[in-house]
Amino acid sequence: MKLILSKDVKALGRKGDVVEVAKGYARNYLLPQNLAIIATDNNLKFAEDLQARRHLKTQMNSDLAESIQTALADAKIVISQNSTDEGTLYAAISAEQIVEAIEIFSSYKLQEEQVHTDDAVKEIGLHTVTIVLGPDTNFDITLEVIPETK
């Protein structure tokens, strides 16, 4: 049975995709849950418009991600934090602090979910932070944690 997805369905497709599924799957799950609609001529035109808008939005997001990557390439973000004499921080650096530092440095506002560190940042020194802007756009920046002056 040919359907148009009205919501993203894991392992099947994204909103607006035209899919071919078994009749039982369509009747018993997708249609009652309002996850899909039957593929009529009018609905197919709507799906094409939806896919075109999604493609345009994806292209714009890709361009934005590229400009962010260019702005942050070879960047060293510096955060000062209270620490012991041995260089251990009293509190780990949070993703929120990294996002704020990036915004101050570049004026780009990222989401906390886009900032990834291998381990919690709990020491003075240089650390690698991965910025994930999309499924195929990620890059590393250097985070330097320095002791806060008293």
Q: For 32-50, how does the pLDDT look when each residue is reduced to its tens digit (9 = 90+)? A: 999 999 999 998 998 888 8
pLDDT, one tens digit per residue, over 17-32 is 899 999 999 999 999 9
pLDDT value at residue 27:
94
Tokens of residue 114, six digits: 């886009």
Domains of the chain: 2-68 (3.40.5.10), 74-147 (3.10.430.100)
Measured over the CA atoms of residue 140, residue 142, residue 143 and residue 145, the dihedral's sign is: positive
Q: Is 140 helix (H, G, I), strand (E, B) or coil?
A: strand
Residue-wise pLDDT for 125-144, tens only, equals 999 999 888 777 788 889 99
31: three-class secondary structure by DSSP: coil
Q: Which of 104, 115, 106, 108 is nearest to 138 (CA)?
A: 115
pTM: 0.63
Q: Is pLDDT of 108 > 90?
A: no
Count other C-beta atoms under 10 Å from residue 83's C-beta: 18
Please state, in angstroms and rounded to a whole number, the distance separating the CA atoms of residues 82 and 33. Answer: 52
